[in-house]
Each structure stands twice: as C-alpha cells, then as structure tokens.
Amino acid sequence: MSNKTLDQLLIVFTLLLDICFISTSVFVAYWLRFESGWLDGIAVHKGAPPPIDYYFQLVPLMGLIWILVLRGFGLYRVEEHLTFETVVSISKAGLIALIATLSAIFFVYHSHQYSRWVMILSCGISVLFLALNRLAVHRFKAAIQQVGVGINRIAVVGFNKTTQKLIQGLEERAGNGYRFVGVLLGERPPSQPIPHRVLGEFTEVRGLVQKYRIDELFITSPAISHAEILQVVDVCEGLSVRMHLLPDLYEVMIGRTRVSDFDGIPVVRLKELPLQGWRGMIKRGMDILLSSTALIVCSPLMLVIAGAVKLSSPGTIIFRQERVGRDGQPFYIYKFRSMRQDAEADVGHVWAAKDDPRQTQLGRFLRRWCLDELPQFFNVLKGDMSLVGPRPEMSGLIDDFSKTIPHYLDRHRVRCGLTGWAQVNGLRGNTSLEERIRYDLYYIENWSIAFDIKILLKTLWSITRPPKRDTEA
C-alpha cells in the first residue's frame, strides 16, 4: 500500500469518525445542559426541557453542515503533525458551523425549541473531539508506517547536486512515509561519486520498478538526456508509478512556477512579480491605515520615550541608518537611539550582540520591548517599508551577502518590513542568514492578507513575551 492510498483511506476514516463525534457532541451537550445539573446556576430554562427526539432530527443537517465547512477549510488531508494552526482552523470551522446550524434551525425547522446552550456546548465539544480525532489519526499513521505499511518507495534516475539535495530531504523525512530505495544510472557518467545504492541502468527501469516495488521515480535533468527521459516514460507505460522531473533550473525555480500560453506555445513561468496590481494596492492600503492608527495611538508614548532618550544620554533622539529596500533602493530607517552616539565610530556596520556594551541603560529596556522601533511606522507611512516583509539589511553588508547566499537579492522584490515571517519564527539579527532567506522567500511567494495578519498577531504576542534579542545595530 502506497502512502497516497493510505492517506485516502485515513481521510475517509477521519470523515466517518467526525460524523460520529459531531453526533455524539449534541447528546453530550444535551446531558450537560439539562441532566447533569452542572449548569443550573448559569443558564436558566423556563419550562420542561425540549425532548431529546428533537435533537435526533437535527443531527443529519448538523453533520452535513460541519462536513462541508471542514472541507472548505481544507481539514480533510493527512498532515505530518497536528499543528496549532490546524486547531485554530477547526475552531473557526466550528464557529461558522454553529452560525449556520442556528440559522437552519429557524429557516429550515422553523423551531425555537432548540437550546442555544446545547448548540454552543456541542460546538465546543465537537472542536475538542475533532482535534483529538486528527491527533489519533496522525499517531495511527506513524505507528503503521513504522512496520512498513503506507510507505512510498522512491528511486531517482540520474545523479547530480540537485538529486543529492532531494535524497537528503527524503532521508530526513524517512519517518513520514518516504523511503529512498536507490539510484538508476543513465548513459552519461555521474559528475560525482554516488554515495548511495545503485540499482542498475535506466534501460532496466521497468524490471527494477517491479522488483523494488517503486512508487515514485524522480528523473534528473540534465544528468538524463531528453531521449533517455522519453525512453523511461515510454518503458514505464502501464506501471503504477508516479514520475517527476528534476530540472536543471531547480535552483532558479524556488518559487511557484506556472505553465502559461504564449502565442500557442506552452511556457513555464519561472518567477512572478509578487504583490503587483490589486494585491499591492491592498497591502499598501493596509500599511497606510494601520501605521497611521499606530502613530496616533502611540504618539503619547513616543513623546515620553523621546524625552527619556534626550535626558538619559547625550546625542540625537532618532537614530538614522541607511538600509536597502525594494529593488535595491537605499533609504534611511528610523529608530529611537538605544546606543551611545558614537556606537558605530570604530566598528562600522555590525550587528549588535547580546548585552552589547554600546547600549545605554534606557536603550537596553527599549530594545527588550521593541520600543526603539516605533519610529519605523513613519517609514511605513512614507512607503520605504511595509508592516510585514523581509527585514531591511544594512547597505554595507548587502554585497557580501549577495555573493555568498543564494537568492539573497530575491528578498528585495518586495518592500522590507517592520516585522516578518522569519522574525516571528525566532530568526532575528545574528542568526542563520540562509534560514532567514528561506523564510523570507516563502513569505514572498505565499503572501495573503490573512498571512500578514497572522504575522502581526504573532509579533504582538512575542513582544509580550520577548525573547533574548541579538538584533542589528
């Protein structure tokens, strides 16, 4: 049984259990409200409780509403782990299902006999049950995969650096339904030694797929020529094996690629211009609205901080430093000064270290609570920055980073941000640049309003529980 087949079976199993749990939650809620006595002091019901038969009539419609809403939220897929985001999505689905069910009671059943408390309680119980259901399914899948059931057996045809990266990824995810079997060689000798099991030649691909029960083949180009690729595809016709092409443009195609039509010719679009058109207008409008509001709300606090900075140490109130923004355009970023006036006199553009001796006592407090960054709302209002985006880097470091870190300059396709996806995941200041770039590019390629709101909320949460910061100067 392949991993895909197992996932399909588990999705059906999850759906059936969801229906059982949603139905059960109604009667558990009925018992809690009318028979347990636990809620008598909270909710008062006049007259006799409605007959439980009423709720039997409601269950089919309620179950249908729940399943449709859960399906709409994309909650019928088998994930590697039960995440906080999944629980939040189930809760949102529950709220929508509750509203839809209450509406159906009045418009379909034309009845006022159903208790609102029962509906609310059943919604909360369902959310709990459905989350536990998914956790149990994940644990069950992991357990049976440990004994070899539901494993996708994968082989590669041809070998180069791209293939090696793929194999490393598969081996790291060995516990998640993938097992790397080996390499099939093409006519061209490999450009480097192969530190993996060699199954045979690509000309034997049909027999090797059957012998080793291969579920998926990854064909490497240009290690395998076009003629060989066509031969592999032709020979494997009729076999239940999925085939993928690893192109030589892999390093370029890190974003979402799209197949489009150009005068009747199919072309692969390697790179989009993100946040253009209406998407860019929406994001800019949100930046203007929220930054203006923040400046108005925070203006008393900013006046107090400005006075404190002026009185606590000699020097300017606002620290200005050249950074690089969208399309490589330089701009000056604003911060409340948190270091000595001559902090960069001898060291130049360097990141601040933890407990940096150049910080003033007030500056240490401001940096801990991110209050030194409040003036950056002016940068957002001016259009130099956005509320959310890759953090702007010091201009003196750009050349070095662009030469040593692949795709570093891709982050300049959008406005830099006051906060970003990398920052809310703990990648601030003196942390792995490669990892930060990976998070930045993921944000750029997957932008949405909801994604921005999520990052802003995570930022506010992290400020209330601030990590130890190794931030830039």
What is d(CA 385, CA 387) in angstroms, rounded to the nearest whole number? 7
Rounded average pLDDT over 350-368: 75
Kindly calculate the radius of gyration of the chain based on its CA atoms and give it in whole angstroms.
Answer: 29
Residue corresponding to tokens 């406005």? 415
Report the Cα 30 to chain-centroid distance in Å.
38
Among 117-131, 168-182, 398-412, 444-458, name the one with the lowest average pLDDT: 168-182
Q: Indicate whether 209 pLDDT > 60.
A: yes
User: What is the residue extent of each domain of the chain?
Assistant: 3-146, 152-250, 278-464
Q: Taking residues 28-55, report their average pLDDT.
A: 73
Strands 216-220 and 318-324: unpaired
pLDDT at 410: 80
What pLDDT was estimated at residue 202?
85
Percent of the chain with pLDDT over 90: 22
The CATH H-level (homologous superfamily) assignment of domain 152-250 is: Nitrogenase molybdenum iron protein domain (3.40.50.1980)
CA 64 to chain CA centroid, nearest Å? 29
Q: Over the stretch 406-450, which tens digit does the pLDDT of each residue have?
A: 778 888 888 999 999 998 888 876 667 888 888 888 898 888 888
State the Cα–Cα distance between residues 441 and 425, nearest whole angstrom: 14
Confidence (pLDDT) at 127: 93
Judged by average pLDDT, the poorest of 178-187, 300-309, 354-363, 413-422 is 354-363
Mean pLDDT calculated for residue range 348-362? 68
pLDDT value, residue 251? 45
Tell me the pLDDT band of 473, cut-offs 50, 70 and 90.
very low
Q: Between β-strands 152-157 and 178-185, what pairing exists: parallel, antiparallel or unpaired?
A: parallel
Report pLDDT for 471. 44
- Contacts of residue 293, defined as CB under 8 A and 6 or more positions apart, other chains included, come to none
Inter-CA distances, 347 with 314, 342, 351, 379, 423, Å: 20, 10, 10, 26, 25
Locate the DSSP E strands across 95-235.
152-157, 178-185, 198-201, 216-220
- Nearest residue to 423 via CA among 455, 457, 468, 401: 455
Q: Is the pLDDT of residue 377 over 80?
A: yes
Q: How far apart are CA 64 and CA 60, in angstroms?
A: 6
Average pLDDT of the chain, as a whole number: 81
Cα angle vertex 302, ends 426, 286, to 5°? 60
The yes-or-no verdict on residue 43 having pLDDT over 60 is no
Lowest-confidence pick of 158-167, 281-290, 435-444, 450-459: 158-167
Kindly tell me if the per-residue pLDDT of 376 is higher than 80: yes
- Helix then strand then coil, in percent of the chain rounded to 5, is 50, 15, 35
- Summarize pLDDT for 255-285 with one digit per residue, the tens: 455 555 544 555 555 556 567 667 788 899 9
Contact 420, 443 (CB under 8 A): yes
d(CA 299, CA 464): 20
Question: What is the pLDDT averaged over residues 105-125?
Answer: 77
Q: pLDDT tens, 118-138?
A: 888 999 999 999 999 998 888
pLDDT score, position 469 = 45
Residues 380/342, Cβ–Cβ less than 8 Å: no
Q: Is the pLDDT of residue 249 over 60?
A: no
What CA–CA distance (Å, rounded) separates 330 from 296? 27
Q: Quickly tell me which residue has 């089919």 as its tokens.
A: 60
Sign of CA dihedral 444, 449, 453, 458: negative
pLDDT at 42: 61
Higher model confidence: residue 349 or residue 58?
A: 58
Q: How far is CA 48 from CA 35, 59, 90, 345, in A?
A: 12, 21, 33, 81
CA distances from 44 to 48, 52, 296, 365 (A): 11, 18, 45, 51
